[in-house]
Amino acid sequence: MTTRYQNAVLVDGTGAPPVADAVLVVDDDGLIIHAGPAATAPPPPPGTTTVDLGGRTVLPGFFDCHVHLCMTPERGLIAGLTADPTVETFEVAERLRATLHAGVTTVRDLGGVPAGYRTALERGLIEGPRLQVAVKVISHTGGHADCSLPGGVDAAPHLGEIADTADEARIAARRMLRAGADVVKVCATGGMGSPHDDPDDEGLTCEELRAVVDEAARHRAKPVAVHAQGAVGIRNAVQAGVTSVEHGYGMTDELCDLALAQGTFLVPTLSTVFAPLDPAKMPEYHYRKKTRWSGISKENIAHAIARGVPIALGTDAGVVPHARNLLELSYLVELGMDPLDAIKAGTLNAARLLRLDDRLGSLEAGKTADFVVVDGDPLHDIALLGRPENILLVAQWGNVRKNLL
């Protein structure tokens, strides 16, 4: 049955100005027939269902290109050793549902959950965003994804995959692809939350990164996402030909030039940068590194925005709370991005990074009807999108998943 959503303000995700008195028409296959002014909408066929949106804003379903569904901010590594895996399965399912109801219809998990969650979503066994997975994160011994405790026990075997040579990196990539990875995730630097290294430390070498990129290219040109915070690791990653730099806190003007020349996406995960710091709730090494890098990160990401480096929205949800993903939009705007461009970072640009822009990321005729309806004007107050209670309706493939209208 065709559904006509009328009396709406349309923000289509392409960066175009909003359209007042807009109509969104969705057919019974979940495809968009029309998204634009009411004056040019086709006449409704018999049996059309009409929904009056009362002047509210309709936008594409949003993407989060960097989440960790296996994590929560309050849970340390040791807790994972005693967790019940059956209970954890249901907890991940609930995080997926809450993320969808927050307006995010597609996510990319960059380490920690198996491909079975993707299959469960595709079969309709659980409710949540469509899902791409990396399965595990490839790191070297002692690197950012090495979760070994002092006694040698691996606290998170579901998260890290160790590789210490170019050949081992290639084989690790093969194991992830065999496990169903949509994207290969690697570490080119250390990180904030890992005890053994620092953001300025190099992770996999340029040779090792190139081996992963080459291996991913041999498997239907799978993308490679790289955890890279310090400048040296970012340079290694971009020169190796990775698809996206995750975090990118050390982006210099030279690295912006390099990313622009290579067409490399930046996923800045500002939600972790703007997260409040409480030394009583985090290890000393984590607090020390975050305190040092907070101002540097904001300055460098603001410069990358000004330079026009292609940016896709990602939050590192799991390190920060789940289902608050669209707060990231307000942080992009705070660092200088225009609200329309911030929305595009979370819709069409993100779809391009995930190679789904032929059918998702914007509200245009012929595309899949993933969309959200929000109470208020997000171009006037972008922060309202970060409050799930303002997301009144969420649809995937034209099917309404949340409806508070």
Q: What angle, 0 to 180 degrees and rounded to 10, lies between the N-to-C axes of helices 253-262 and 284-307? A: 60
Report pLDDT digits (tens) over 17-76. 999 999 999 999 999 999 999 999 999 999 999 999 999 999 999 999 999 999 999 876
pLDDT at 216 over 90: yes
Report pLDDT digits (tens) over 349-390. 999 999 999 999 999 999 999 999 999 999 999 999 999 999
Q: Is 108 helix (H, G, I), strand (E, B) or coil?
A: strand
Q: Which residues pair with 403 in a beta bridge?
A: 393
The reported pTM is 0.96
Residue 325: phi and psi, rounded to 5, are -60, -40
Calpha distance 338→351 (Å, rounded)? 19
| Other residues' Cβ atoms within 10 Å of the Cβ of residue 355 | 14
pLDDT at 155 over 80: no
pLDDT of residue 282: 84
Q: Give the helix/strand (H/E) hosting 187.
A: strand 184-187
pLDDT at 77 over 70: no
pLDDT of residue 76: 67
Q: Tokens 């171009």 belong to which residue?
A: 379
Candidates 275, 337, 317; CA nearest to 100 is: 317
pLDDT at 146 over 90: no
pLDDT at 15 over 70: yes
pLDDT of residue 399: 97
Candidates 22, 21, 29; CA nearest to 399 is: 29
Contacts of 315 (CB under 8 A, 6+ apart): 64, 66, 67, 269, 270, 271, 272, 324, 325, 327, 328
pLDDT of residue 82: 80
DSSP 8-state symbol, 144: T
Query: CA-based angle 265:268:271, to the nearest 5?
Result: 150
Amino acid at 4: R
| Other residues' Cβ atoms within 10 Å of the Cβ of residue 249 | 26
Q: Which residues pair with 393 in a beta bridge?
A: 373, 403
Contact 253, 301 (CB under 8 A): no
Q: Give the helix/strand (H/E) hosting 60.
A: strand 57-60
pLDDT of residue 78: 66
Candidates 64, 66, 122; CA nearest to 245 is: 66
Residue 7: phi and psi, rounded to 5, are 55, 55
Report pLDDT digits (tens) over 101-131. 999 999 999 999 999 999 999 999 999 999 9
- Alpha helices per DSSP H over 26-157: 79-82, 85-101, 116-122
Domain regions of the chain by residue span: 3-60+361-403, 62-353
Report pLDDT digits (tens) over 238-276. 999 999 999 999 999 999 999 999 999 999 999 999 999
Amino acid at 387: R
pLDDT of residue 180: 98
62-353 falls under which CATH superfamily?
Metal-dependent hydrolases (3.20.20.140)
pLDDT at 394 over 80: yes
| Chosen CATH of 3-60+361-403 out of 2.30.40.10, 1.10.1040.10, 3.40.50.300, 2.70.98.40 | 2.30.40.10
